[in-house]
Amino acid sequence: MQPDWLLIGEIAYLLILGLVCLRIIYDTRSTTKTLAYLLFAVFVPVFGMVFYFFFGINYRHRKMYSKKLYENDELATQFRNDLLNYSQQTLIENNEIILSNKELAFMLLKDSMSPLTADNKVKLLLNGEEKFPEVLRAIAAARHHIHIEYYIFEDEEIGRTLADALMKKAQEGVKVRFIYDDFGSRDIRKKLVPKMKEAGVEAFPFLKIHFILLANRLNYRNHRKIIVIDGTTSFVGGINVSDRYINSSSRPKNIYWRDTHLRIDGPGTQYLQYLFLCDWNFCSENSVAPEECFFPKPLEQPGSENTVVQIAASGPDSESPTILFSILQAINLATEEILITSPYFIPGESLLDALTIASLSGLSVKLLVPGKSDSILVNSAARSYYNDLLAAGVEIYQYQKGFVHAKTLVADRKLAIVGTANMDFRSFDLNFEVNAIVYDTGIANQLASVFYDDLKDAEKIDATVWAARPWYKQLLEKAARLLSPLL
């Protein structure tokens, strides 16, 4: 009697499917994502399971790499104690802005040992035309080291200009270390990176992509944009190294690019330095120790301003979604106004509930999103959330001048957040991200003014008109929303 290979194959497939489903249930933290992966695996034969193994494995449970910089436990303990003492002193010596947000400050300190730093000078930089001249001046002034980490670094005019500046400093004897995301910066791998290495720049890709490992390494990308110079000056925000971020008279208005970045001079730079060194030791062949030159003592960094800064960072290597928690806490602590700009807005239940509660509680909540996105699917998924927010009284504006890529939040004109993280599942769960939190009325008011200026180039969504849109549009958006945990 010949074996029934079809029946055997079906039984084998069901066994494999059952094991994969158990793996999804055990390994996926979010209930929403668990259900999405389960449905995809069950109802899309074979491909659904392959998709999960390509994009769904939860590395937060596996710790992609350790953030431990100090091999000596006594030094590590001393470092933690110094951070605690310094942060507590900053809290005591500063004003009511810090006190009104002390829960946020303590959460970041306890969750990720991110210190609350005073005596910083912070400068708001709008678009590439403000950022890149500032960056080039800071690089030219470097004396000891330059650390640079980018998601997108393209072999275009600004990329080559920045690379030339880095190569020049390397030839002058300044230590230049460069981390580039192997997917986002694939444009520079063959020509520009080898050229930089020949000139003395140490350059390594973050999570190098190989065909066999395409799945996990394509999914978990380093979306950070960090520059640290001499341990005292840093840059962080949404602007990558690409000509598209620079608006000039020769560029058509329909591709105007609105983005926001920060320059930080002072102790606020040190946690960005810490993040860079952790990433460097993970992806490079030349690990570095946390030497004193990388972390100058705060007293050695006198500043003309006393802006308080704290850094929120998270990724597949962190114990918790720190950036999401920090945004939720900032919203929960607000009492008057919340202004949010995000190019990719797929909030998930917790953030959706937080914004809804804030608006129903009488706060003015305004959200600025792109009128046109560079992803139809992501834009459709985002729009599926608008009805709920509009019904709660949230004001939603669609940017019309070009593409708004800034990732910012202003709470009560006292607290400002600028960084790399979008308000979506990918930034909160999958990507390596970093945000700067600035406890300062000056910066918060500047960013609020920028927000209201952007509203002049945006259209406000009318809740009644939006709810009355054709049923098939809403159906497509709701269908896209089902895939939102996977986007």
CATH superfamily entry for domain 73-93+120-306: Endonuclease Chain A (3.30.870.10)
How sure is the predictor about 384, in pLDDT bands with cuts at 50, 70 and 90?
confident
| pLDDT exceeds cutoff 60 at 75 | no
Per-residue pLDDT reduced to its tens digit, 137-165? 999 999 999 999 999 999 999 999 999 99
How sure is the predictor about 68, in pLDDT bands with cuts at 50, 70 and 90?
low
Per-residue pLDDT reduced to its tens digit, 254-276? 588 999 999 999 999 999 999 99
Amino acid code (one letter) for 309:
V
| pLDDT exceeds cutoff 70 at 97 | yes
DSSP SS3 for 466: helix
The DSSP element (H or E) to which 80 belongs, if any, is helix 73-93
| pLDDT exceeds cutoff 90 at 211 | no
Say which residue, 19 or 453, is predicted with more confidence: 453
The span from the CA of 317 to the CA of 311, in Å, is 16
Neighbour-count burial of 254, counting CB atoms closer than 10 A to its CB (0-12 exposed, 13-18 middle, 19+ buried): exposed
**What pLDDT shows up at residue 18?**
87
Half-sphere exposure of 44 toward its Cβ, with a 13 Å CA cutoff?
12
CATH number of this structure's domain 322-486: 3.30.870.10
| pLDDT exceeds cutoff 80 at 32 | no
**What pLDDT shows up at residue 218?**
58
Domain with CATH 3.30.870.10 in the chain: 73-93+120-306, 322-486
**What pLDDT shows up at residue 19?**
85
Nearest one of 405, 417, 467, 460 to 151, comparing CA atoms: 405
The span from the CA of 102 to the CA of 116, in Å, is 10
| pLDDT exceeds cutoff 80 at 429 | yes
Residue 362, Ramachandran bin (φ over 0: left; ψ between -120 and 50: alpha; else beta): left
User: How much is the average pLDDT of 20-31?
Assistant: 78
How sure is the predictor about 78, in pLDDT bands with cuts at 50, 70 and 90?
low
Per-residue pLDDT reduced to its tens digit, 278-337? 999 988 878 888 788 888 876 445 455 789 999 999 988 888 899 999 999 999 999 999
Residues designated catalytic: 223, 225, 230, 405, 407, 412
The span from the CA of 475 to the CA of 459, in Å, is 23
The span from the CA of 219 to the CA of 56, in Å, is 8
The DSSP element (H or E) to which 18 belongs, if any, is helix 5-27
**What pLDDT shows up at residue 79?**
64
CA angle 35–221–285, rounded 5-degree value: 135
Q: What is the DSSP string of 314-347?
A: E-TTSSS-HHHHHHHHHHHH-SSEEEEE-SSB--
The span from the CA of 472 to the CA of 478, in Å, is 10
**What pLDDT shows up at residue 297?**
76
**What pLDDT shows up at residue 300?**
47
DSSP SS3 for 258: strand
The DSSP bridge pattern shows strands 364-370 and 402-404 to be unpaired
User: First CA to last CA across the chain, in angstroms?
Assistant: 49
Per-residue pLDDT reduced to its tens digit, 216-241? 455 678 999 999 999 999 999 999 99
User: How much is the average pLDDT of 360-370?
Assistant: 96
| pLDDT exceeds cutoff 90 at 125 | yes
Neighbour-count burial of 349, counting CB atoms closer than 10 A to its CB (0-12 exposed, 13-18 middle, 19+ buried): exposed
